[in-house]
Amino acid sequence: MKINKITLFFVLILSLLFFSNVSLADRHNNYLKEVYEQLRSKKFSEAINELKKLSENNLPKAQLLYSKILYSGEIITQDFEMSYFWANISKLGGIKKSSIVLNKLNDLIDNENKIKINEKIRKFLNKLALSGNKLAIVQIAKWNIELSEEPNFENAYKWYNIAVALGIKSAKIKRDEMLENIENQRLFEIQKESINIFNKIKNLGG
């Protein structure tokens, strides 16, 4: 009977997590639907303001749409810097179609400016990650491999390690891959950094 109660407890917890994620996804989709409706109604200022807010809240689909609008310059002036900024964050968030915008921007932004924008991306994601945003934690791990001037396997491992501890099991393979590129004498120190950040996030309710 005791085992059954424990099993039931875990089933309930998993169900709550599942429906919470579904509810969150539904809310995000509803927000985007509102934006599309505003665009169709030519309420461009309202749509842009909402897209900016959703992007800053780290919704990858909104970030991609915002990036496209910033690139096209049809309802607001072109802004290649911010288009590149949001397209990269969206791509780090798992939206593969963001690569289409990035390919168009590739020859329009020189390497020096790309480095500067990439650093702004790092700061944006780092702030969100430290606040407990789980997607940003995975994104900042990816940033250290994909957008850093040189791949930083130590920082990538640190964030993937935190991601797995917070329940993002899909990050486990990447975490273990990073180990192959880290010297053993550095490993304990990096893990201590992970523990400190993890504890801070948990104390925030992450």
What are the pLDDT digits (tens) for 41-99? 898 999 999 999 999 999 999 999 999 999 999 999 999 999 999 999 999 999 999 99
The pTM for the full model equals 0.84
- Cα–Cα nearest to 135, from 25, 4, 44: 25
Please tell me the distance from the alpha carbon of residue 115 to that of residue 54, in angstroms, as a whole number. Answer: 25
User: Per-residue confidence at 32, pLDDT binned at 50, 70, 90?
Assistant: confident
The more confident residue out of 12 and 191 is 191
How many residues does this entry show for the chain?
A: 206
In order of 64, 83, 86, the CA distances from 108 in angstroms are 18, 11, 16
The first and second tokens of residue 14, run together, are 């998993």
Q: Quick one: pLDDT at residue 29?
A: 76
CB 164 within 8 A of CB 172: yes
**Topology adopted by domain 1-109:** 1.25.40
Residue 103 Cα to chain centre, angstroms: 20
pLDDT tens per residue across span 91-111: 999 999 999 999 999 999 999
